[in-house]
Amino acid sequence: MPTTPTQYVRPFQEVAEATAKKLLSAWRNPYKDKVNRYIELLHENLERRRQTERPDTPSTNLWREQEYMVKQFQEWVKNLHSELATSTPDQVWGLWQETFRTTLETVPETITLEIPPTFWNRDPTDAVPVRLWKTYRAFRYRLRQEHHRILQWIRRHPKKEIPPDTRTFHLHHFLRFTLEYPFAECLYHEWQRLMHLIAQHLYQFHQISEETKTAFLFLSEIETSGLTPSREARDQKWKILEHHLTTIEECIIQLDTFIVDALDQVYTAWEARVTEVKRQWPYAGTFALPEKMFDAKRLQSHWNTLNKQFQQDQTAWQTHWNGEIEEWQKDLELLLLQFRISQLSLKTFETVQSKMETQLTPIFREVKALLAQSLATFTNVDTEDKLALRRHILSENRTLLKTLRDEKLPLMIDSLLQAQVDRFLQEYAYRAKNALEIVSENHTIFKERDLEHIPPRSKVENVALKQLVEDKIFRELAQEHQVFMQTVQTHVEHILRDISETDQIVEFNLEAALTLLRRQRTNIEAFDDAQKIAVEGLERAIKQLDTIIEHCQQIVQQSNHFFCKRSVSFGRQILALADDERILEIQLRIARIQAEEQFHRYYQHVWTTLTQGIPHTINTFIRYSQNALTTLQTRIVHLKKITGLAPTPENVGERIAQFLNETTQRIKHLPYVYQRLFRNEPLRDERFFVGRRAEMVRLQTDFEAWQAGQPKLTAVVGEKGSGKTSLLNFAAKQIFQETTVVKVRLDNTVYTETKLLEHLKRALKEPDAQNLNELEARILARDESMVCIFENIQNMFLRTIDGFEALESFLLFITKTQSRIHWLLCCTLYSWQYLDKVIHISTYFRRVIHMEIMATAEIKEIILRRNRASGYQLVYEVPPTIANTRKFRRLRSEEEQQHYLEDIFFHQLNDVAASNITVAMLFWQRSIKKNTEDKLVVSPLVDFDHSFLYQLTVDELFILAALLQHENLSIDETARVFRFELQYSALMLNRMEQSGIVIRHKTYYRIHPFLYRPIVRALKIQNILH
């Protein structure tokens, strides 16, 4: 059996060297693979850039490529974090424990060795207790020898030798205590050194990433050259990546160098352990090193201490990794956000530029060329040829104005509205905020980064990054965007106003030239003056077009300036958020501001309640008392007019006709753009669509139920002019866009099945169907489903005994075909109420959507949204009845007075219109008293007295009720409904037309739109309409 320590230690040396090499490689290789992958990503992006970059490559590709690169690095950082976060003790020294204990099985568990006499000799290197014990044991050994010598002298039997001293100890425990555990500590130390090197590398990589981010934001280039960086600038930035590659490759060399150095450290440590084993070997099992000093309990205590230390150190490393990786991810997310904002800015600007340069400016230049052509002809006309000059002015006055008004002006306005430049720019802030979704809600950042100590003493803090970016950056963005949008809206308003004035400039000047020629026919100089007036007028019109084009160019220039400024500002704020101290400072500042705002709001609420509570209560009581008195007086006067107690005004019909004629003339004299914006037809521009959200939700619910195999007949019911057709138009665009939509509109009365069949065959494209049953069979045999919007059901019956044939057949037909066709029927309110009483039409439908009453605010938005599109400013005149009121006199500023007058007007308007959009728009146009260059003067009082309706005859009232239920009636149909003589029917309708109550369209009569709501109110009061 071996007795020297060298013989026992030698097998473990080979195991230790091999294990150290394996462990160091196992620790290094995953990280080295990650770094190599990082290098591969850089090479891949550089190579892809070389392959895809061309001189004509769009700038959007630059941001897209960079975004793709950042996403790759994000994934790399995420994988690296998972690799670093999973370190365990087994990964550090588990292999060493396994191989050591396997080798340990080859040696005896315990060993007994002789203690040589020289052991008791004192050694100056021994500790004091050991030397004392050696002295004591040496003395005992000499006594034992003397005692044995005396016994040998006395004995008579053969002499016995003195037995040698021995020591027995647990060899496994000794080797584990002196080799296994200390070598594990050495490995752990080298592992921490490697972690420290990795931490330095990651910090270096992070700094490289920040330098790359700063470069690839192109802030200085955007600030000087615009949103599109030059090719030279791009090439220079990509060279930065090539330079960084060298730095990163040096990290690989450092890793290999570390392994060599670590192996040297391990070998040195092993030699030191072997020396220590040799030193302790003679004492093992003796009083100097008893077995209890390295038994299993003591070993387990040491391993527990090492594991506990590992957990503590691992917590410190985990804190550092979380801080480093999370902060890196934070910076990459912010960089990705910046790229998206830059891409959005560039795309938005290019779209606006394209709309202006390809859709709008060419049209304006075309109109300018038309005016220039007309100007050239006027310039070349010989003024001595008087007839030719006059003829030319007359011709140009007719043809040029006709071309402008019928073609060019509508084209310019429609193109501007369809381009929706302002709306597209308005959505920029919303889209930019949506890009914030890529930023995580919270991130961990360094409060203190430590790269000196092992393990690190780094401190981190959790910050609400997303909220921070939203409060700090996007709030500022929203404010600047709002200011920018006000500028753009001003330009759009100027463009619309200038378009509407172009034809007026031409008309006024040509008319002035003609008037001059008519008045001074004999004056020779008048012809020169007339030509000059015409030429100067056309020159001003051309300048007007130049101004319009200049506004378009300014929109492009200011958009470029805004997006460049925002991209640079956004980028610099992103860079500022890379500074942890700055983040913590901003977070603290925002928290302080929010606390101050909250306190200010609370203080303001309390102060307002105390200072305004009592005066408000008193003013409210006075106001309600005055309003009650005014309402009572008004109703007394109104009641007198209804009952006939008030004197009947003379020439009522003449006054009504005069009022309606004056209203028509007022509307005709409004600017052309205003007439187009307020034209009485179904709405198609989504910009002017207000409200009706509940109705749209119901339509979508019914359509989804029909698609799911639950057919539903749906009816949309509302007054004429309440927006039913507009609602269905937008439903077809937004809800039924992926389904075939068929529209049927009954403009005239169809109350026989034969006429109805013709409409259905034409709409459903079944011309060969002989009757409704055959048409039904053909529809049910189809594979394709569709949506059918059937408008004006009120024109499908006649209020006679046999007048419901077509309607009843139609209801049966749609009930049978609803599995193939989603039917949407549209009917006026009062027709529906009548049909519900007569044939219970509501029972055929699972859903009847009534057009809800619109609030005053919605009517106001409908009107003012169109007005804003016109570009005209509104000025409400101050009538004496309002100027003398106490409340109006208390208003200090003109702005407050205008708001007060506006509120009065729209409350009155909605009271008259009763949510009827058409009526509201007509009365709005009627209320415009005059228009100047850029302003419209509006009377805040709706001056319309409809009490004359209560003086109509019974026959006239019943005819009006029939017109409400049928929408329009001919003379013959009116006679059939009321069983009048044909001549009497014609007489009544003609008389009502002369007074202006009804208007005629071809052979049909309908109620004048101005009188629609007053007639409804009058008929309800008379109990004719319910």
The domain that holds 953 is classified in CATH as 1.10.10.10
DSSP letter at 407 equals I
Q: Tell me: pLDDT of 656 over 80.
A: no
- Give the model confidence (pLDDT) of 308-329 as tens digits: 998 998 888 888 888 888 888 8
Question: What pLDDT sits at residue 645?
Answer: 47
Asked whether residue 814 is assigned to any structural domain, the reply reads: yes
- Give the model confidence (pLDDT) of 915-933 as tens digits: 788 888 888 888 888 877 5
Q: Alpha carbon 371 to chain centroid distance?
A: 44
Domain that holds residue 966: 945-1021
Tokens of 926: 């009627």
At a CB cut-off of 8 Å and minimum separation 6, what does 910 contact?
Answer: 854, 855, 856, 859, 920
Asked whether residue 325 is assigned to any structural domain, the reply reads: no
Q: Tell me: pLDDT of 1012 over 80.
A: yes
List, as one string, the DSSP characters of 794-827. Answer: GGG--SSTTTTHHHHHHHHHHHHHTTTEEEEEEE
Which of 828, 853, 878 is at the close of a domain? 853
* 549 and 469 within one domain: yes
Closest C-alpha among 498, 489, 481, 485 to residue 550: 498
- Give the model confidence (pLDDT) of 203-212 as tens digits: 888 887 777 7
- Alpha-carbon gap, residue 223 to 228, rounded angstroms: 10
Please report, rounded to a whole number, the percentage of residues in the chain having pLDDT higher than 70: 82
Question: What pLDDT sits at residue 568?
Answer: 74
- 388 close to 517: Cβ distance less than 8 angstroms: no
Which of 553, 578, 603 is at the close of a domain? 578
Closest C-alpha among 249, 253, 254, 244 to residue 206: 244
Q: Alpha carbon 900 to chain centroid distance?
A: 35
231, 277, 790 from 821: Cα distances, Å = 58, 96, 12
Asked whether residue 674 is assigned to any structural domain, the reply reads: no
Asked whether residue 885 is assigned to any structural domain, the reply reads: no
Closest C-alpha among 92, 328, 93 to residue 199: 328
- At 460, phi and psi to the nearest 5? -125, 165
- At 648, phi and psi to the nearest 5? -75, 125
Which of 550, 578, 606 is at the close of a domain? 578
Q: Alpha carbon 967 to chain centroid distance?
A: 44
Q: How far apart are the first and last CA of the chain?
A: 122
Going by DSSP bridges, is the β-strand pair 935-938/873-876 parallel, antiparallel, or unpaired?
A: parallel
Asked whether residue 955 is assigned to any structural domain, the reply reads: yes
Confidence label for 301 from pLDDT (cuts 50, 70 and 90)? very high
Going by DSSP bridges, is the β-strand pair 847-850/714-718 parallel, antiparallel, or unpaired?
A: parallel
Question: What pLDDT sits at residue 308?
Answer: 92
- Give the model confidence (pLDDT) of 822-834 as tens digits: 999 999 988 999 8
Q: Which residue has the tokens 């308003």?
A: 493
At a CB cut-off of 8 Å and minimum separation 6, what does 959 contact?
Answer: 974, 978, 988, 989, 992
| CB-count exposure of residue 290 (10 Å: 0-12, 13-18, 19+) | middle
* 177 and 124 within one domain: yes
Please report, rounded to a whole number, the percentage of residues in the chain having pLDDT higher than 90: 3
Q: Tell me: pLDDT of 55 over 60.
A: no
388, 494, 671 from 497: Cα distances, Å = 34, 5, 9
Question: What pLDDT sits at residue 670?
Answer: 76
- Alpha-carbon gap, residue 897 to 700, rounded angstroms: 43
Q: Tell me: pLDDT of 706 over 70.
A: yes
* 603 and 511 within one domain: no
Crossing angle between the packed helical segments 475-519 and 386-403, to the nearest 10 degrees: 150
Q: What is the mean pLDDT of residues 101-108?
A: 89
Domains identified in the chain, total number: 5
- Alpha-carbon gap, residue 397 to 508, rounded angstroms: 10
- Give the model confidence (pLDDT) of 756-792 as tens digits: 888 888 888 888 888 888 888 888 888 888 899 999 8
Q: What is the mean pLDDT of residues 1004-1021?
A: 84
963: left (phi over 0), alpha (psi -120 to 50) or beta: alpha
Question: What pLDDT sits at residue 304?
Answer: 92
Question: What pLDDT sits at residue 186?
Answer: 92
Question: What pLDDT sits at residue 882?
Answer: 82
* 264 and 344 within one domain: no
Asked whether residue 431 is assigned to any structural domain, the reply reads: yes
List, as one string, the DSSP characters of 710-777. Answer: ----EEEEE-TTSSHHHHHHHHHHHTSTTSEEEEEE--S---SHHHHHHHHHHHHT-TT--SHHHHHH
- 201 close to 173: Cβ distance less than 8 angstroms: no
Q: Which helix (H) or strand (E) holds 110?
A: strand 110-115
DSSP letter at 989 equals H
Question: What pLDDT sits at residue 4?
Answer: 81
* 117 and 230 within one domain: yes
Asked whether residue 20 is assigned to any structural domain, the reply reads: yes
- Give the model confidence (pLDDT) of 366-379 as tens digits: 988 888 888 887 77
More confident residue, 442 or 648: 442
Q: How many CB atoms lie within 10 A of CB 656?
A: 20
Confidence label for 228 from pLDDT (cuts 50, 70 and 90)? low
* 462 and 391 within one domain: yes
Q: Alpha carbon 16 to chain centroid distance?
A: 62
- Alpha-carbon gap, residue 552 to 122, rounded angstroms: 106
At a CB cut-off of 8 Å and minimum separation 6, what does 226 contact?
Answer: 560, 564
Asked whether residue 655 is assigned to any structural domain, the reply reads: no
Q: How many CB atoms lie within 10 A of CB 189?
A: 15
The pTM of the whole model exceeds 0.85: no
- Give the model confidence (pLDDT) of 533-584 as tens digits: 778 778 878 888 888 899 888 988 888 888 877 777 777 777 666 665 555 5
Most confident of 143-152, 221-230, 458-467, 496-505: 458-467
* 97 and 41 within one domain: yes
Question: What pLDDT sits at residue 305?
Answer: 92
Tokens of 120: 């008791």
Tokens of 849: 């959507």
* 612 and 555 within one domain: no
* 623 and 552 within one domain: no
Answer positive or negative: Cα dihedral of 124, 126, 128, 134: negative
- Give the model confidence (pLDDT) of 131-190 as tens digits: 777 777 777 777 777 777 777 777 655 556 667 777 888 888 999 999 989 999 999 999
Q: What is the mean pLDDT of residues 53-72?
A: 68
Closest C-alpha among 529, 544, 533 to residue 510: 533
* 609 and 570 within one domain: no
Strands across the sheet containing 740-745: 740-745, 786-791, 821-828, 714-718, 847-850
Q: Alpha carbon 74 to chain centroid distance?
A: 24
* 403 and 486 within one domain: yes
Question: What pLDDT sits at residue 189?
Answer: 92
Range in 146-155, 171-180, 448-457, 848-857 with the lowest mean pLDDT: 146-155
At a CB cut-off of 8 Å and minimum separation 6, what does 87 contact?
Answer: 314, 317
* 193 and 57 within one domain: yes
